[in-house]
Structure 1
Amino acid sequence: MNDADTQDAAGKATGWRGSREVWLAAAQEAFIESGLDAVKIQPLATRLELSRTSFYWFFKDRAALLDALLETWEQTNTGGLIAATQAYAETITEAVLNLASEFLEGGAFEARLDLAVRGWAHQSDAVAARVNVADETRLEAIRAMFDRFGYDPSEADVRARTVYLVQIGYISMQVQEDLAVRMARIPDYVKTFSGLAPSQRELARFHARHGYRPKTGSG
């Protein structure tokens, strides 16, 4: 009996096949860690200690799993970004802080997944097309956010590009930035993106949202 047969037997004995979410989460983790070639049925079954045949209860084939990965990326990253741009804000600076929250720990945007999908796009014209659509959709959402606060269309477009391209640069360069450093830069980023400085009250709410306490005084 080979390893695959042993796993199939174990799966039949326990009756546990996992779930669509379990298989998809394992695929996403493997994809982020090791790239597209790691997203294969048998290695995922081994990772999950499930039978290979269990996979087929939830996905027709590997292509269906890969498509589900892209759908998850679109829902999580593009969907989360759009929701952030539409979140309640009394000022443009508060709106920009809402958007900034998406890219910090606890935000919906998964930077490592975005980076992995962009790498995949270099291998597939179909994926590259979906990335292009996602980028334009995200930019349009950010433009609409600036439009909502009365910016001229051309200015809204440039400001949206500045916000988004800076963030994509962070992702593409895999910048590792200490939270305290990032938080110290946030007010100037907001001023650069919007032309206005955030109020101390807005920054206090932003800090609280992320469980951050700025150091005060000389200590």
Structure 2
Amino acid sequence: MNIIDPSRPSATEDVWLKAAYDVLTESGVEAVKIMPLAKRLGLTRTSFYWHFKDRDALLEAMIRHWEDTNTGNLVTRCNAYAENIFEAIFNLFDCWLDDGLFDSRLDLAIRNWARNDPGLQTRLDQADARRKDAMMGMFQRFGFDAAEAEIRALTMIYTQIGYISMQVTESREERFARMPGYVEVFTGRKPADADIERFVARHRMSAP
């Protein structure tokens, strides 16, 4: 006979993480606390401990999610098959069009959090180094020397961080329309119509 434990939560670990994410991106890490999260979800404080040892464990889970999602997906897109540097850059640009690949709100929240958390700042520096290495490798695969690859990679990184930190507001269509121009700026070469058309077709949008 199965005995139902009334303290067992109906919410999953992902539900707690989503609530913590919402608070983190809205109000910062200081606002991520167990009791307010429980009230937000209509659950008991006790139910939290079915999934996490303590608040630090919840925060660590959010950091790991950021590392796996934002940095992990960015590196994967940089390493994806491409026939030329233009297709390689467009592969990376998938991250800027799909929040499932790269969550800009989470990236901003992590950067703000790291300002007052030396341990997280170290992990952020490591993540940025992984991103830079992946972008440099992408350029070097297509004949750019190391020095030029580094400058072009940094240009892309600083541009994206600028988008994030300035919280630039533009429609998906506006950003999409600028991307061929950004590819030309980042590579120093103009992409062919065929490269643009493949990217457009993948996202099922009209050509800019």
User: Normalization by structure 2: what TM-score?
Assistant: 0.92
Q: Whole-Å Cα distance in 2 between the matches of residues 168 and 90 of structure 1?
A: 27
1:97-136 paired onto structure 2 within 5 Å: 97-136=90-129
Structure 2 residue ranges without an equivalent (≥5): none
What CA RMSD, in Å, does the superposition of the two structures yield over aligned residues?
Answer: 1.8
CA contact (8 A) 1:106 1:210 kept: no
Please, which of 184, 189, 193 is the counterpart of residue 186 of structure 2?
193
How far has the Cα of 1:200 moved from its partner?
A: 1.5
Q: Does structure 1 residue 18 correspond to structure 2 residue 8?
A: no
1:115–1:106 CA distance, 2 compared to 1 (3 A): closer
CA displacement at 1:23 relative to structure 2: 1.1
Shift of residue 55 of structure 1?
Answer: 0.7
TM-score w.r.t. length of structure 1: 0.88
Please give the alpha-carbon distance, in whole angstroms, between the structure 2 residues aligned to 1:151 and 1:36: 40
Query: Structure 1 pair 17/107, CA: closer, same or farther in 2 (3 Å)?
Result: closer
The residue number in structure 2 matching 1:73 is: 66
In the TM superposition, residue 38 of structure 1 has moved relative to its aligned partner by 2.2
In 1, the alpha carbon distance for the partners of 2:98 and 2:198 equals 16
Whether 1:208 aligns to 2:198 is no
Instruction: Please tell me the residue identity of whatever aligns with 1:37.
Output: E
Q: Equivalent residue for 1:4? A: none
Matches within 5 A, 1:4-83: 13=6, 15-83=8-76
Secondary structure in 1 matching 2:116: coil
Give the superposition deviation at 1:12: 5.8
Q: Which residue of 1 aligns with 2:159?
A: 166
Gaps of 5+ in 1: 1-10
**2:49 is matched by which residue type in structure 1?**
Y
8 Å Cα contact 1:30-1:39 kept in structure 2? yes
SS of the residue aligned with 1:57?
Answer: coil
1:46 alignment partner AA: K
Indicate the SS of the match to 1:197.
coil
Find the partner of 1:93 among 75, 81, 86.
86
